[in-house]
C-alpha cells in the first residue's frame, strides 16, 4: 500500500501542521529532558535524535505507519530469502553473506550458508597464498600490488572500506581501485606499478559492464606488454569476482581464480561477498571477518529489536518525516573522520540507486516524495565550503553527523578540536542565534540581519567509540537497513535499478557514431550541434 493511503497518514498530516509551528529551541524549552529521551543504542553505535523536529507523539504515529506498512514482516521475509525483489524475481540476501551464527539458511532447497562459507573459504586460502608468497606472478615475483577493476557496487564498497580501514591495512601489499572508463583512471593508477608484481581483480557481478571490461582489456594489454609475455601470463595475474562464470572464462581467467557470488546479492550490497576480495587481501582475513561481525551485529539488532528501539527503523521514519512532511529534498552525510571520506559517495549509490524511484510495487506512479538526494563530505572540511547554505540558505537540509569518541591517530589536541566542531555544528544548526542574542553580543545594526541564524535545522548525532572494522560494518548495515525500511514505507522495490539502463542503451547507439564506423544522423538537434563542435575539435579545426 502507498503510505499516503494508510490510516495513520491523515493523523500524521494533522500532527505536522501543529508541530511545524515549533522550533527545535522551543521543543527543548518545552521538554528540557528531550536530550535523553531521544537517545538510542544499537551495536557499536549511540545515536541521538533530540535535535530532529519531532516529539514522542511524532514517533508514535510514525511507528504506526511502519506497522501498517508491515516493515518488520517484510524484513523477516528478506532475511528468510523470499523473492522480495519483485521486478527481477529475486531474493535479497546480503544478510546471509555475514551470517556468523545460528542455523544454516536454506532457501528453495539450497543451503545458502554453506555456499557463502565455501566461497569465503576459497578467498581465505587465496589470500593466505598471496600473503605468504606462495602465489607469485609470471616471472616468479611475489604479488605486492592489487588493482581492483570494477564500478558502482563492484568498486564503491571495497574502495570506501579500504579507505576507511587504511589504519588497519597490512604492510607490504598495496591496493588500488580503478573504475572510470576515462583512461586517465587506469593510466594514472598503473604509473609506478610493476607488472611483475601486480594482481588484477576484475570485479563485476554481470561481467558485461562496459567500463569494467574495457579497463580489464587495457589492463591485460599493459600487463602482457610489460612482461613481454603471451596469454599464458594472464592466469598468474588476473582473478575475477562475478556471478557470470561463463563470461569470465570467455575473458580468459583461470577457473581457480574465479570467486563467484549469486544473483541474490545486489551490487550495492555486495561488499561482504567475493566482491570484498581486495579488502581481504589489503586488510587481512581477520579484519575482513571483524567487518562482517559488525554487519552481523546490526543485522541481529534490526531483526530482533523492538520497533521503538530499532535504530534502522527509527532512522528511516525520521528520514521520511523530514522528506515527506518537512519537504527536505536531501540528506547530508557528514563524517567527522577523514578515513570515512568516501562514505557519502558509497551511500549515494546505496540510497539513491535503491530508493530513487517513482513507480510503486504495483507498477503505479507514486504521488509522494521518495528517496532523498544523498551528499556530503567529511568535517571539518565541509564547514569551510558548503555549511553556509545549511546554516542560512533557503533549503532545509537534514544532516547526519558521524563521529568517534577515540581517534585512531591521537596527535596533540586534533581530535578534541575536531569533535568540538562536531558538537558545535549540531548546536548551531538546532538553536541558531536570535536577533536579540546578536544585539547583546554588540553586533552592529546594519549587519544584524546577516548575523542572525534561524536554527531549527534538524540533525542526527551518530557516535561510536572508535572506527574499527566492527563499528564500520555496523554503520554500513545500519544505513542498509534504514534504506530497506524506507523502501517498504514508500512501497518501492529498492533492489532493482532499471533507471540506469536507458543511458547505457543510448551510449551504445552513440558509440558507433563517435567511432566513425556508422553513418547515422543524431536524433536530436542539440546532439547534432555539439557533435559538430566535437568532431571539428577532434580534427584540430
Ligand atoms: O549500472 C548500474 C550497475 O548495475 C550497479 O547497480 C552496479 O553496482 C554496477 O552497475 C556494476 O555492475 P557490475 O558489478 O555488474 O559490473
Coil, strand or helix at 30: helix
Clarify whether 20 is annotated catalytic: no
Query: 483: Cβ below 6 Å to ligand 1?
Result: no
Which residue puts its alpha carbon closest to atom 5 of ligand 1?
152
- B/e letters for 334-360, b = 16+ CB within 10 Å, e = fewer, are bbbbbbbbbbbbbbbbbbbbbbbbebb
Query: 204: Cβ below 6 Å to ligand 1?
Result: yes
Query: 205: Cβ below 6 Å to ligand 1?
Result: yes
Rounded Cα distance between 60 and 291, Å, is 33
Residue with cell 538526494: 373
The residue whose CB lies within 8 Å of the most ligand 1 atoms, and thus the one to mutate among 209, 244, 260, 347, is 209
Catalogue the E-assigned strands of 353-475. 373-375, 399-404, 459-464
Rounded Cα distance between 206 and 240, Å, is 11
Residues in CB range of 37: below 8 A, 6 or more apart? 31, 50, 56
Cell of residue 486, nine digits? 524506507
Cell of residue 348, nine digits? 549515494
Report the sign of the C-alpha dihedral through residues 50, 55, 57, 60, in that order.
negative
Rounded Cα distance between 253 and 247, Å, is 10
Q: Which atom of ligand 1 is nearest to the CA of 267?
A: 8
Average pLDDT, the chain: 96
pLDDT of 101 strictly over 60: yes
Q: pTM for this one?
A: 0.97
Closest residue by Cα to residue 235 from 200, 203, 261, 204: 200
Ligand 1: centre distance to CA 508 (Å): 16
Average pLDDT on 412-418 reads: 98
Query: 154: Cβ below 6 Å to ligand 1?
Result: yes
Report the sign of the C-alpha dihedral through residues 321, 323, 328, 332, in that order.
positive
Which residue puts its alpha carbon closest to atom 1 of ligand 1?
500
Residues 424-457 pLDDT 10s: 999 999 999 999 999 999 999 999 999 999 999 9
The residue whose CB lies within 8 Å of the most ligand 1 atoms, and thus the one to mutate among 202, 205, 208, 345, is 205
SS3 string, 162-207, reads HHHCHHHCCCCCEEEEECCCCHHHHHHHHCCCCHHHEEEEEECCCC
Rounded Cα distance between 129 and 109, Å, is 34
Which residue puts its alpha carbon closest to atom 3 of ligand 1?
152
Which residue puts its alpha carbon closest to atom 10 of ligand 1?
152
Residues 474-491 pLDDT 10s: 999 999 999 999 999 999
Closest residue by Cα to residue 49 from 315, 255, 417: 315
Query: 500: Cβ below 6 Å to ligand 1?
Result: yes
Cell of residue 376, nine digits? 556530503
Average pLDDT on 345-356 reads: 98
Catalogue the E-assigned strands of 23-82. 39-42, 45-48
Rounded Cα distance between 371 and 497, Å, is 13
Clarify whether 384 is annotated catalytic: yes
Query: 473: Cβ below 6 Å to ligand 1?
Result: no
Query: 153: Cβ below 6 Å to ligand 1?
Result: yes
CB atoms within 10 A of CB 26: 11
Q: Which of 212-221, 257-266, 268-277, 509-518 has the lowest mean pLDDT?
A: 509-518
| pLDDT of 516 | 76
Residue with cell 555475514: 98
CA 407 to chain centre: 23
User: CB of 162 within 8 A of CB of 169?
Assistant: yes
Distances (CA, A) of 268 to 32, 354, 489: 41, 9, 20
Give phi and psi for 464, each to the nearest 5: -135, 165
Rounded Cα distance between 473 and 469, Å, is 6
Catalytic member of 20, 416, 417, 504: 504
**Vertex 421, ends 415 and 427: CA angle to 5°?**
140
Clarify whether 353 is annotated catalytic: yes
Query: 380: Cβ below 6 Å to ligand 1?
Result: no
Tell me which DSSP letter residue 396 carries.
-
Distances (CA, A) of 352 to 180, 331, 375: 19, 11, 10
Residues 498-532 pLDDT 10s: 999 999 988 888 998 888 755 666 779 999 899 99
Query: 209: Cβ below 6 Å to ligand 1?
Result: yes
| Mutual angle of helices 469-489 and 56-68, in 10-degree steps | 70
Ligand 1: centre distance to CA 251 (Å): 18
Residues 223-252 pLDDT 10s: 999 999 999 999 999 999 999 988 998 888
Catalytic member of 163, 196, 353, 480: 353
Amino acid at each position: 500500500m502507498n503510505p499516503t493511503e494508510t490510516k495513520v497518514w491523515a493523523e500524521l498530516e494533522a500532527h505536522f501542521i501543529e508541530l511545524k509551528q515549533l522550533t527545535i529551541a522551543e521543543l527543548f524549552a518545552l521538554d528540557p529532558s528531550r536530550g535523553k529521551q531521544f537517545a538510542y543504542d544499537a551495536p557499536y553505535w549511540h545515536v541521538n535524535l533530540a535535535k530532529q523536529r519531532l516529539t514522542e507523539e511524532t514517533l508514535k504515529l510514525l511507528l504506526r505507519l511502519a506497522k501498517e506498512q508491515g516493515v518488520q514482516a517484510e524484513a523477516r521475509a528478506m532475511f528468510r530469502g523470499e523473492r522480495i525483489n519483485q521486478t527481477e524475481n529475486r531474493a535479497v540476501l546480503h544478510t546471509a553473506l555475514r551470517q556468523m551464527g545460528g542455523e544454516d539458511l536454506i532457501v528453495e532447497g539450497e543451503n545458502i550458508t554453506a555456499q557463502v562459507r565455501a566461497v569465503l573459504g576459497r578467498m581465505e586460502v587465496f589470500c593466505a597464498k598471496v600473503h605468504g608468497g606462495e602465489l607469485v606472478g609470471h616471472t616468479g615475483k611475489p604479488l605486492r600490488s592489487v588493482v581492483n577493476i570494477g564500478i558502482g557496487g563492484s568498486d564503491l564498497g571495497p574502495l570506501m572500506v579500504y579507505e576507511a580501514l587504511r589504519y588497519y591495512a597490512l604492510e607490504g601489499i598495496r591496493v588500488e581501485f580503478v573504475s572510470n572508463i576515462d583512461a586517465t583512471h587506469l593510466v594514472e593508477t598503473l604509473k609506478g606499478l610493476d607488472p611483475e608484481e601486480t594482481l588484477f581483480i576484475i570485479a563485476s557481478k554481470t561481467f558485461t559492464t562496459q567500463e569494467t571490461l574495457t579497463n580489464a582489456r587495457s589492463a591485460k594489454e599493459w600487463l602482457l606488454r610489460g612482461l613481454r609475455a603471451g596469454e599464458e601470463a594472464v592466469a598468474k595475474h588476473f582473478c575475477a569476482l562475478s556471478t557470470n562464470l561463463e563470461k569470465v572464462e570467455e575473458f580468459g581467467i583461470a577457473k581457480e581464480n574465479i570467486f563467484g557470488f549469486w544473483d541474490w546479492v545486489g551490487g550495492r550490497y555486495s561488499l561482504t561477498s567475493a566482491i570484498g576480495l581486495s579488502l581481504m587481501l589489503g586488510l587481512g582475513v581477520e579484519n575482513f571477518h571483524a567487518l562482517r561481525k559488525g554487519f552481523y551485529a546490526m543485522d541481529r539488532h534490526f531483526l530482533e529489536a523492538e520497533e521503538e528501539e530499532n535504530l534502522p527503523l527509527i532512522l528511516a521514519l525520521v528520514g521520511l518525516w523530514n522528506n515527506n512532511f518537512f519537504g527536505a529534498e536531501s540528506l547530508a552525510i557528514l563524517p567527522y573522520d577523514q578515513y570515512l571520506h568516501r562514505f557519502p559517495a558509497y551511500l549515494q549509490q546505496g540510497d539513491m540507486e535503491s530508493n530513487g524511484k517513482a513507480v510503486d510495487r504495483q507498477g503505479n506512479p507514486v504521488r509522494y516524495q521518495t528517496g532523498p538526494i544523498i551528499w556530503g563530505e567529511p568535517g571539518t572540511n565541509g564547514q569551510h565550503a558548503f555549511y553556509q547554505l545549511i546554516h542560512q540558505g533557503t533549503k532545509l537540509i537534514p544532516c547526519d553527523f558521524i563521529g568517534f569518541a577515540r581517534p585512531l591517530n591521537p596527535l596533540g589536541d586534533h581530535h578534541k578540536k575536531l569533535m568540538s566542531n562536531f558538537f558545535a555544528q549540531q548546536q548551531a544548526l538546532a538553536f541558531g542565534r536570535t536577533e536579540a542574542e546578536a544585539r547583546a553580543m554588540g553586533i552592529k545594526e546594519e549587519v544584524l540581519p546577516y548575523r542572525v541564524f534561524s536554527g531549527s535545522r534538524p540533525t542526527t548525532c551518530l557516535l561510536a567509540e572508535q572506527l574499527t572494522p566492527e563499528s564500520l560494518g555496523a554503520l554500513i548495515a545500519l544505513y542498509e537497513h534504514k534504506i530497506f525500511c524506507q523502501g517498504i514505507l514508500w512501497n518501492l522495490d529498492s533492489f532493482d535499478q532499471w533507471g540506469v539502463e536507458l543511458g547505457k542503451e543510448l551510449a551504445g547507439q552513440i558509440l558507433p557514431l563517435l567511432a566513425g564506423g556508422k553513418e547515422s544522423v543524431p536524433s536530436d538537434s542539440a546532439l547534432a550541434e555539439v557533435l559538430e563542435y566535437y568532431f571539428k575539435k577532434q580534427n584540430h579545426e
